[in-house]
Amino acid sequence: LKPAAHALFKKLKDEELELLVQAVESRGAWESGCVWAPRGDTRGAKQGFPPQVLLCRLFRWPDIHQPHELKHLCYCAGRRTVYGDLAALCCNPHHFSRLAVPETPPPPYSKASCGPSWPDEPQHPSSKLLEFSYKGRDWHGKRLCSPLPDTSLSRSTIKDGCWCKLAYWEHRTRVGRLYAVHEASVNVFCELPWGSGFCLAQLQAAHRSRAVRRARGKIGRGLLLSQEPGGIWAYNRSEHPIFVSSPTLSPPGARRLTVLKVLPGYSAKVFDYEQVGGKGGWRLPGEGPCDPHSIRISFAKGWGPCYSRQFITSCPCWLEVLLNQ
């Protein structure tokens, strides 16, 4: 790749080289501008990689081969002209993520043979905890999930003009207030010293267990949530996996919880507006009905039928995304 890289660098302007240096040194922590390169394969190399593939191989993923394995991030201007007739395209390696495609082998917990099927209706709740969770409240009366209907949230969301609100949870306790998102995208991170968005370090809790403190230490740069045509995308900016569930990640008529594991550097479409259609209440076994226009994301820790954590309320740190219907 060395001859191809040198040939590409010679074609870049000084300002673009400076942007590239900033993006690579910060590992994408700074939202740097686009690095525009001429279209066409780079000369002087045995492999004719397009510029964006070449730089992603050099600085991020050595096993990338084709442009279709990459996805433009929402703040990249090149995503709007990638199929246009412009003579240049963006090749900033931190303006791309790897694409989590359906053909990827599923993790063990989402295989059809994993775990028993859940019935459509809960069978004789035998504990006070289940009774509380079916009402959408925890032991202290706080909201556990977003039960239906939630007209107050919908009305306030429409009035505020935001497309979603974020709730941060530690196990069964919600920490802090709802965070309204007005921009097309939002960063959710822990103690990143730069950038803007939903900073979890600013949310104070009366007591945090060792498991919560450990999990919070793995959030790092966190994730980028973006509202794009057709649905919501999540880009994992941290160095640890995130785990996602939403009504549209499960196939129609599914009786099991589908939890998607999103590796660092990957993006996944976590909510599809067309698929949700006229879905009614989303009933989670052991946790009760939830808003079908919601997404749940756990940092670093998975849950589901084949995990010791059966429910997301057992995860140390997780996020609830409440979408404007």
Position 130 in a domain: no
> Which of the listed residues 67, 99, 131 is the one where a domain comes to its end?
99
- Tens of pLDDT along 137-147? 343 344 444 33
Position 119 in a domain: no
User: How do strand 223-228 and strand 294-299 relate by DSSP bridges?
Assistant: unpaired
- Residue 253 maps to which CATH number? 2.60.200.10
Instruction: Say what the pLDDT of residue 14 is.
Output: 93
Query: Nearest 5 degrees, angle CA 259-CA 276-CA 324?
Result: 95
How many domains are contained in the chain?
Answer: 2
- Are residue 185 and residue 319 in the same domain, yes or no? yes
- Residue 69 maps to which CATH number? 3.90.520.10
The closest alpha carbon to 220, from 20, 28, 19, belongs to 28
> Which of the listed residues 99, 116, 139 is the one where a domain comes to its end?
99
Instruction: Say what the pLDDT of residue 30 is.
Output: 75
Number of helical (H) and strand (E) elements in the chain, helices listed first: 7, 17
Position 251 in a domain: yes
User: How do strand 231-236 and strand 223-228 relate by DSSP bridges?
Assistant: antiparallel
User: How do strand 318-323 and strand 164-170 relate by DSSP bridges?
Assistant: antiparallel
Contact residues for 34 (Cβ-Cβ < 8 A; gap 6+) = 19, 76, 77, 78, 90, 92, 95
Q: Which tokens go with 143?
A: 């909201």
Position 146 in a domain: no
pTM for the full predicted model? 0.78
- Are residue 56 and residue 181 in the same domain, yes or no? no
Q: Chunked in runs of 10, what are the mean pLDDT values of the chain (325 residues)?
A: 90 93 88 82 58 94 92 86 63 92 46 35 31 33 39 49 94 95 94 80 91 95 93 95 90 74 95 75 63 92 88 95 90
Q: What is the DSSP letter of 106?
A: P
Instruction: Report how far residue 62's alpha carbon sits from residue 50's, in angstroms, rounded to the nearest whole number.
Output: 14
Position 170 in a domain: yes
Position 243 in a domain: yes
Q: Which tokens go with 16?
A: 């673009």
Instruction: Say what the pLDDT of residue 307 is.
Output: 85
Residue that the structure tokens 């921009």 belong to: 183
**Residue 42 is part of which domain span?**
1-99
- Are residue 183 and residue 76 in the same domain, yes or no? no
- Are residue 313 and residue 193 in the same domain, yes or no? yes
> Which of the listed residues 99, 123, 148 is the one where a domain comes to its end?
99
Instruction: Say what the pLDDT of residue 108 is.
Output: 47
Instruction: Say what the pLDDT of residue 83 is.
Output: 45
Position 175 in a domain: yes
- Tens of pLDDT along 118-134? 333 333 332 222 222 22
